[in-house]
Amino acid sequence: MSSRQRALIVALCVSAIAVVGTAIWALTYDSGSSSKHSGAGTASKAGASTTRASTTGGPSTTSHATSGATTTALDPSRLQSEITSFLSRFATALRGGDPTFLFDHLHPAVIRAYGPDTCLASVKRAIDSTADYKLIDIQRTGSFSWNSGTRTIEIPNTITATVEVVSHGVGSRVDLHLVWSNNRIDYFRNCTQ
């Protein structure tokens, strides 16, 4: 075999490895959503999504990707019930100073993007004795582009929910991006805040 043939085989192998690696990366980040906002307002491991950011110190309106997680479609009434329950527990965790709950429900893409230490410090800063989250409407489920500040990750099966939020005593209405997978809801947050 000539050196030219060997070089061609090596180039093909490197290309194949790159394609497989990209496919694995895409599958790893394929179950979440993203946002162009940072801040609080979503239920999961990261924050806000759409073009509005929450000012509550809670999750931002962003959805998150899952890492090999199983995503199951829920009927609309169960989905509404699950989101309402999550938002209640999320607000209770913010009011009661429970960073474990807040950290545990960050979307895995958020923790990968910022690191666990930065995310834990961020959720501890989010504690707010006035926090409240009430579901107004579920708008859609679909793909969401979550931006960590350094890269954008496409997260499928993201739920967009309009939520009435009280943060530091101030009320606002925000669109949150949440991900339902493995029988739980995760949220997005900009952990640099």
The Cα 60–Cα 46 span in angstroms is: 6
What is the token pair recorded at 90? 């999320």
Whether residue 140 lies inside any domain: the answer is yes
- Strand ordering across the sheet containing 184-186: 132-147, 152-167, 170-181, 184-186
Give the tens place of pLDDT for each residue, 84-137. 999 999 999 999 999 999 999 999 999 999 999 999 999 999 999 999 999 999
The pLDDT tens digits for 27-58 are 333 333 333 333 333 333 333 333 233 333 44
What does residue 17 show for φ and ψ, rounded to 5 degrees?
A: -65, -40
126: tokens are: 């989010």
Determine the length of the chain: 193
Over 90: is that where the pLDDT of 171 sits?
yes
**Hunting for tokens 């990707």 — which residue is that?**
65
The verdict on residue 15 lying in a domain is no
Q: Is residue 142 part of a domain?
A: yes
Number of domains forming the structure of the chain: 1
Kindly indicate the confidence band of residue 26, based on its pLDDT and cuts at 50, 70 and 90: very low
In a domain, 64, yes or no: yes
In a domain, 25, yes or no: no
Q: Report if residue 24 sits inside a domain.
A: no
Domain span holding position 67: 31-186
Mean pLDDT value across the chain: 73
Closest CA to 191 of 127, 130, 115, 132: 115
